[in-house]
Structure formats: C-alpha cells, structure tokens
Amino acid sequence: MPPVVTGYLLLLTFGRRGLVGAWLADHLGIVFAFRWTGAALACGIMSFPLLVRPIRLSIEAVDRRLEQAAGTLGAPPWRVFLTVTLPLALPGVLAGMVLGFAKAIGEFGATITFVSNIPGETQTISSAIYSLIQTPDGDTAALRLVVVSIVIAMAALVASEWFARRATQRLHGN
Amino acid sequence: MLRVDVSKHLGEFSLQVSFSSEGRVTGLFGASGAGKTSLINMIAGLLRPDRGIIAIDGETLDDTAAGLHVPAHRRRIGYVFQDARLFPHLDIRQNLDYGRRMNGLAEDPAQHKRVTDLLDIGNLLDRRPGKLSGGERQRVALGRALLAQPRLLLLDEPLGSLDEERKVEILPYLVRLRDEANVPMVYVSHDADEMRQLTTQVVMLKRGRVMAFGGPEVLPGAS
C-alpha cells in the first residue's frame, strides 16, 4: 500500500472526527491529529512490517530442544518464552528494531498526509529536508540535515552490529 | 513406582510398551531405533501417547481414555539429554539455579553444595557453557536436573556423545548419584556394560516392543 494511502486512512480513522480518533479524544483525551503523537503512530505503523519479519525469523530459529529442556525444568510456556526464547532471539530483535528505526527516519508520505508538516511538532527529518528544498536559500540548511541523517543512520547501523555481535557471542556460551 | 502402558505411531514406526518398575534405576536397553527416546519423551511429557497410561507413585500423568495429559513443566520429572542442552546465554550458576527459580522453590544452599560437590562442578559456576568440556557440560546438566528437585530423573544416553575417556570420567558420578541422590532414575542406553553397572531393573526394547524385563541378568553377553 502506498504510504500516502496509509496516511489518509489514518486521518480518516484517527483524525479528530475519525471513528477511533473522536472516541479517544472524548474519553481518554488522546489526540493524534496534527500532533507529534500522530507522527509517531504513522512511523510506527509504517515500520511495523519491517520490524516483524526479522524478529519472527529469529524467534523461530531458536533451538526447540532448549525450550523443551526448560519445560522439563518446570518452566511453563510463557516463562520459557521470556527466559529462553526471547534472550536467544535478541540479535534478531535488535536487527528488527534498527530496521524499524531506519524506516521511521525516512518516513514521509504517511506522516505528511496524516499530521501534515508542522515544524517542531510533526516534522520528520525527511519532510524538513523537503520543506527546505522548497524554500529559497534553504539549500545550506537542507544539506546540514542531509549530513545529520546520514550520521544518525550510520551510527544506528554500527550500534546494531555491535549489539548483535555481543548477543551472538553470548548465545554461543562464550 | 513407574507404570507405563502406552502405544504410539510415529510414521512407519510403532511403539507398544508395557511395564511396571519398582527399581531405583530402571534401564531402557536397546539398539538405536528401538524406541527408547520416544518412550522416555513420553514419560517426560514431551510426546503424547496415542493410547495408554503413564503413572508414577500412583499419580497418573497420562491417561488417554480419561483425556488426561499433565504437561512436561508440571510433572516434576528431570531430564538429562544426550546433548546436555545447557542454556548458552546463562552462566553455570544460573543454569543450575534455573529449575529452582521456575518451580518457585526456596534457596537451599546446603542442597546446592551437596549437588555441586557430588558432581565436582563447584569450580565451574562462573563459566559459560561454551567454555566447558563435553564431560563437564554433562555433569552440569545432571546437577541442573537434580536441583529442580525432581521425583524421577530421566537420563537419555548421557554418555552417548562422549569418547571412551570421558565416559570413564562420568560413570563414577552416575554411580554416586544412584547411591546418594535418592531420586529414582530411568537410564537409557545401548551399552550393556553401562547398564550392568547402573541399573537394578532392565526393560529390553526391540523395534518398539518389550523383548524382556527383569534384573540386569537379562542383558546380553556377560563381559
């Protein structure tokens, strides 16, 4: 689904007059429309599919035999999941989080459609760069943001590699 | 007392086994493919019988006619696997403590010391499983199962993945375990010598059927 479509559906559902949005605003005082919370919701929904796959794969890759061993030691299934499966799936969970984060940094279409492009409130780094490019003499500022986004992306990648390596070492029992 | 009367189909293979054992150590003896591991997995609750009953000390754990199946984590049956299966993300101390934590048992330093002394693993506590030798790993697996305070201990060829030298190293620990730990055991092996040294009762399996049942004298070939 194109991001703009997702953004528009979010607006219809979670907007002030949307089915869910109106209820949340009236009963719980939670407003998504044109707030940073809405931008977060849009980024979360857009990055969710990217996040799920590596996490699911790494959970499935955990050795069933270790989970059985935990069961024979008295651990009910939910505790097996928390004490064995999840820690052993950690590298994949981290990889999924970094992918999700990268997608959220780049998020543009859904966010701008749902919560517009309000500086200091709903502007993502991508929509800020877009606005600056549209502004006369905005090039320098835009380039500055380009550098910032590259640095953030690289740092996230390095951090995730480091975490994943640490986690893998742990998993091999060293 | 352990009472087993079960049948199970696994693809082409069919298992049909019935015995009652009072022995402190019940041996399941047979060649590979005889159904030993399937049977022990059923006792542990990891595999459900198609039909039949499994009971221990009068408590029924499986009764297919009554639709009863107690899941593995509620059986309080310890299991030492051939491949140890220590948790790689935990150190030895945490591995040993796992069963106690999961069963909500109070800390018992005296019992902890007794078990670590019995198995000579007190010096390994801060290490990780990846840093241990095969024999050490198997001793830790024994300790981990014992410290969960099981009412029955299943040992599935615990010496199977070790070379001759290591076997000789571990066997005395198993004998000590039998004589001092006070937990009835089911010992699975295809090695008649091991069986003779450890077991008090033997169930001989062949292609999923009980061929003989009795004392260690039913084992083939005196050594």
Q: What pLDDT does A174 receive?
A: 58
* Whether B84 contacts B77, CB under 8 Å: no
B69-101: b (≥16 Cβ within 10 Å) or e: ebebbebbbbbbbbbbbbbbbbbbebbbbbbbb
pLDDT in tens, B183-212: 999 999 988 888 998 999 999 999 999 998
A108 — phi, psi (to 5°)? -140, -65
* Whether B19 contacts B55, CB under 8 Å: no
Q: What pLDDT does B222 receive?
A: 56
* DSSP conformation letters of B36-86: HHHHHHHHHTSS--SEEEEEETTEEEEEGGGTEE--GGGS-EEEE-TT---
**Any domain includes B201:** yes
Q: What pLDDT does B79 receive?
A: 96
C-alpha distances in Å from residue A71, one per residue of A79, A113, A153, B32, B62: 9, 49, 41, 25, 17
pLDDT in tens, B72-105: 999 999 999 999 999 999 999 999 999 999 999 9
Chain B residues contacting A via beta carbons under 8 Å? 44-46, 71-79, 81, 83, 85-89, 98-99, 102-103, 128-131, 144-145, 148
State which residues form the domain around B182.
2-218
Chain-chain contact of A174 with B130 (C-beta, under 8 angstroms): yes
A102 — phi, psi (to 5°)? -60, -40
Chain-chain contact of A174 with B83 (C-beta, under 8 angstroms): no
- Per DSSP, B89 falls in state T
Confidence at B14, pLDDT banded by 50, 70, 90: very high
Q: What pLDDT does A159 receive?
A: 83
Q: Does B60 have pLDDT greater than 90?
A: yes
**Any domain includes B223:** no
Rounded to whole angstroms, the Cα distance separating A86 from A92 reads 10
Complex ipTM: 0.90
* Cβ-Cβ contacts under 8 Å, A170 against chain B: 88-89
Closest CA to B38 of B65, B13, B1: B13
Find which of B37, B73, B76, B132 to mutate to test the A interface (most A CBs within 10 Å of its CB).
Answer: B73
- Per DSSP, A89 falls in state T
Q: Does B223 have pLDDT greater than 70?
A: no
**Any domain includes B127:** yes
**Residue A14 amino acid letter:** F
**Any domain includes B126:** yes
Rounded to whole angstroms, the Cα distance separating A107 from A6 reads 12
Rounded to whole angstroms, the Cα distance separating B204 from B27 reads 8
**Any domain includes B109:** yes
- pTM for this structure? 0.82
Number of separate domains in chain B = 1
Give the residue from chain A lying closest to B105, CA to CA. Answer: A74
> How distant is the Cα of A52 from the closest Cα of chain B, in angstroms?
23
Chain-chain contact of A71 with B145 (C-beta, under 8 angstroms): no
C-alpha distances in Å from residue B21, one per residue of A82, B25, B28, B57, B210: 37, 9, 11, 10, 13
pLDDT in tens, B22-46: 888 999 999 888 899 999 999 999 9
Rounded to whole angstroms, the Cα distance separating A154 from A170 reads 24
What angle in degrees, to the nearest 10, is found between the helix axes of B109-119 and B92-102?
Answer: 130
Q: What pLDDT does A81 receive?
A: 96
The CATH number for B108's domain is 3.40.50.300
Per-residue pLDDT tens listing for chain A (174 residues): 888 999 989 988 988 888 888 888 888 888 888 888 888 999 999 998 888 888 898 899 899 999 999 999 999 999 999 999 999 988 888 888 888 888 888 888 888 888 888 888 888 888 899 999 998 888 899 999 999 999 988 888 888 888 778 777 776 665
**Any domain includes B29:** yes
